[in-house]
Amino acid sequence: MWQKIKDFFHKLLISNNEPESIALGLGIGAFICVLPLYGFHTLLVVLFALMIPKANKIAIFLGTNLSLPPTLPFITWAGYEIGRIIFPGNAYPPLDLEFFRHFDWKRFGDFYYPLFFGSVILGLLCGMVTYVLAVNIIRWKRYRKH
Q: Residue 81 and residue 73: Cα distance in Å, rounded?
A: 12
Looking at the whole model, is its pTM more than 0.85? Answer: no
Torsion of CA 47, 60, 30, 96, to 10 degrees: 70
Q: Is the dihedral of CA 36, 37, 43, 46 positive or negative?
A: negative
Closest CA to 55 of 145, 120, 142, 135: 135
Q: Residue 17 and residue 128: Cα distance in Å, rounded?
A: 19
Instruction: Name which residue leads in pLDDT, 66 or 79.
Output: 79
**Span 107-122, pLDDT tens digits:** 787 789 999 999 999 9
**Span 20-52, pLDDT tens digits:** 999 999 999 999 999 999 889 999 999 999 999
**Span 74-84, pLDDT tens digits:** 999 999 999 99
Closest CA to 76 of 129, 33, 131, 30: 33
pLDDT confidence tier of residue 102, bands split at 50, 70 and 90: confident
Instruction: Name which residue leads in pLDDT, 131 or 108.
Output: 131
Ranges of each domain in the chain: 22-145
Instruction: Pick left, alpha or beta for residue 116 (phi over 0 → left; psi -120 to 50 → alpha; otherwise beta).
Output: alpha
The yes-or-no verdict on residue 12 having pLDDT over 60 is: no
The yes-or-no verdict on residue 9 having pLDDT over 80 is: no
Mean pLDDT of all residues belonging to the chain: 87
Closest CA to 75 of 28, 40, 125, 25: 125
The yes-or-no verdict on residue 13 having pLDDT over 70 is: no
pLDDT for the residue 11: 64
